[in-house]
Chains A and B, each alone.
Chain A
Amino acid sequence: MTLTSSRRRVAAAVAAALLAGTCTAWFTRPAASANPADGDPFRASTTVTTLPPDDPALPTPPAGSSGAPPSGARSASGPAAKSGVPLLGRALPNAAEKSSLPAPTSFSIARLGITMKVRAEGVAGDGQMALAPSPADIGWYRYGSRPGDPAGATVLAGHLDEPDYGIGPLAKLVKLRQGDIITVTSGTKKFRYSVTSVTSIKKTALDLSGLFTRVGPPLLHVVTCGGNFDQETHHYDANVVVIAKPIR
């Protein structure tokens, strides 16, 4: 008698406690998980359309504004002197001059404790940007601008994760705040950038010509994946894009 009633009371107590505990925890949950540092302020500090507003509609820099390297012609003809400076018309800036700056070699964000080796990458077989195989390394789009170039975006991109490696350092990119410092080293030269925005953009909505622009102000674009992971295609549906401007 005492035993059964005691059991009943115990059961009731446990059930009540669980319910109360769960409810309490549940109610505390939104406050804990809606940690503003992970989302809204970034979005607020971000141009929602993302990418520099002065990106041109066309990824075309002055087509042909470029350069006939006279040196090539000269070398073909021997020491050919200064002939060949047109007297009529308006001379065009020689945009095709190859950057003499060194390629980036190292990428670091001190506040997040990230240091990564930079590997020069081109275009993969599927037409997307090629990436370093390991999430431990970050790829630099070698056809685009270099740190220190007067125009265009230096694009660095790396894997968020990979089946064998696990989660890479770039998973921390979403924790960047406006004004955080990113350092890119090219050989012995250090280039410092200040973060202006961090945005997660659906891949279907990403402005690729803006992301990879070779004209406009010099900027650093750091890219990884984000959003939802499709278990069948093994792809994420969004890119996290960090835009940072050089600190002079």
Chain B
Amino acid sequence: MKTLRIAAITALAFSPLALASTAQAADGDATVSVLHGVPGATVDVYANGKALLTNFKPGTLTDPVMLPAGDYDLKVVAAGAGADGKAVTEAKGVAVPAGANITVVAHLTADGKPILTPYVNDTSMVPAGQARLTVRHDAAAPAVDVRANGTAALKGLTNPNEAKAVVPAGTIKADVTLAGTSTVVIGPANLDLKEGTNTIVYAWGSAADKNLKLAVQTVSGMNSAPGGVNAGSGGQAAAQAAASDTGRYVAIAGVAALAGGVVLFGRRKATNR
């Protein structure tokens, strides 16, 4: 249901793009990014037997590309091993729904085995002045808490799950602790949560190998307009407009009185004569 709504929104949003480029079924496309979160292995990634990424290094996040919606067989092999090389990890029939914004992450499971996890990025609108923060646990590590400015914001997150929140835009100081403790395992790092974006933070690496790290992805375009512009509270401008009307009447009366006075003066003169 939610996916459908996201799909509908993104499809609408993309329609200008669809017109601009080849009008070829862009409605049926999905936006896909790939993150490499397996420490130590430079790899090639194949989609349905075709090279999607080569010489892909750990910690790298691709720019998003549009791919036709459908099911994809994804295979990660050691760099140069070829489409038929031994899989570091693979995932068959990964659903890429039309209009969705997806990040596929190659990462370690909680117990340290490589795996591919596709995530659907939440591109629903956020209120003006706000940003969405998404945190994904893609590390060989136990449950963690994510602290924002020293306070636990997202608690008990486990691999490969995500947690998200809509928060005021701005820079936060974030770190990751073992769940329920103040033992910092990653960070602190300053995160610039830009207004109208979904800032997605990935915790990846391995606790045992002491190479836990953060990767950050920003998906934009979720901004909405403020509720209005309330740009006057004195009423003086309105009062002045009204006063200038009153002033006109006063002037009219004055002119009339003056005219009357002139007539009167003239008449008196005539009478006296």
Binding site for B on A (CB under 8 A): 6, 9-10, 13-22, 24-26, 29, 32-33, 56-70, 72-74, 76-78, 80-81, 83-92, 94-96, 98, 122-124, 126-129, 131, 135, 141, 143, 157-167, 170-171, 203, 206, 208-209, 211-214, 223-226, 228-229, 231, 234-236, 239
B9 engages A70 (CB within 8 Å):
no
Given known A20-B256, A61-B221, A63-B10, contact A80–B267 (CB-CB < 8 A):
no
A143 engages B263 (CB within 8 Å):
no
When chains A and B are docked, how far (Å) is the Cα of A31 from the Cα of B80? 85
When chains A and B are docked, how far (Å) is the Cα of A65 from the Cα of B17? 10
When chains A and B are docked, how far (Å) is the Cα of A81 from the Cα of B97? 31
A86 engages B225 (CB within 8 Å):
no
B129 engages A123 (CB within 8 Å):
yes
Residue from A89, A128, A158 having most chain B Cβ neighbours under 10 A: A89
A80 engages B264 (CB within 8 Å):
no
Partner of A21, one of B195, B220, B252: B252
What is the minimal beta-carbon distance from A119 to any residue of chain B, in angstroms? 14
Q: A77-B213, A225-B230, A239-B228 are in contact. List 10 more A-B contacts (CB 8 A).
A: A13-B260, A14-B260, A70-B60, A72-B215, A80-B60, A85-B62, A96-B194, A123-B226, A161-B237, A239-B231
When chains A and B are docked, how far (Å) is the Cα of A229 from the Cα of B234? 9
What is the minimal beta-carbon distance from A112 to any residue of chain B, in angstroms? 15
Given known A25-B252, A72-B215, A143-B223, contact A14–B234 (CB-CB < 8 A):
no
When chains A and B are docked, how far (Å) is the Cα of A18 from the Cα of B261? 9
13 inter-chain pairs at a CB distance below 8 angstroms, sorted by A residue, are A61-B220, A62-B13, A62-B16, A63-B10, A66-B197, A67-B64, A70-B62, A83-B54, A124-B226, A129-B226, A160-B237, A212-B128, A235-B232
What is the minimal beta-carbon distance from B4 to any residue of chain A, in angstroms? 15
Nearest residue (CB) in B for A19 is B256
B252 engages A26 (CB within 8 Å):
yes
When chains A and B are docked, how far (Å) is the Cα of A88 from the Cα of B45? 11
Does any Cβ of A come within 8 Å of B81's Cβ? no
What is the minimal beta-carbon distance from B148 to any residue of chain A, in angstroms? 17
A64 engages B101 (CB within 8 Å):
yes
Q: Please give me the 8 A-B residue pairs with the lowest Cβ-Cβ distance, nearest first.
A: A77-B59, A21-B256, A17-B260, A123-B129, A89-B65, A225-B232, A25-B252, A160-B232
A66 engages B234 (CB within 8 Å):
no
Does any Cβ of A come within 8 Å of B92's Cβ? no
Does any Cβ of A come within 8 Å of B248's Cβ? yes
Binding site for A on B (CB under 8 A): 9-10, 12-14, 16-17, 21, 29, 31-36, 42, 47, 50-67, 101, 121, 123, 125, 127-129, 169, 194-197, 213-240, 248, 251-253, 255-264, 267-268, 271
B236 engages A63 (CB within 8 Å):
no
Across the interface, which residues of A come within 8 angstroms of B230, CB to CB? Answer: 126, 128, 131, 225, 235
A69 engages B194 (CB within 8 Å):
no
A161 engages B233 (CB within 8 Å):
yes
Across the interface, which residues of A come within 8 angstroms of B52, CB to CB? Answer: 86-88
When chains A and B are docked, how far (Å) is the Cα of A143 from the Cα of B128? 9
B220 engages A129 (CB within 8 Å):
no
B260 engages A74 (CB within 8 Å):
no
Given known A25-B255, A26-B252, A208-B227, contact A64–B121 (CB-CB < 8 A):
yes
When chains A and B are docked, how far (Å) is the Cα of A138 from the Cα of B112? 56
A29 engages B248 (CB within 8 Å):
yes
What is the minimal beta-carbon distance from B31 to any residue of chain A, in angstroms? 5
When chains A and B are docked, how far (Å) is the Cα of A166 from the Cα of B223? 34
A9 engages B62 (CB within 8 Å):
no
Partner of B240, one of A65, A141, A167, A214: A167
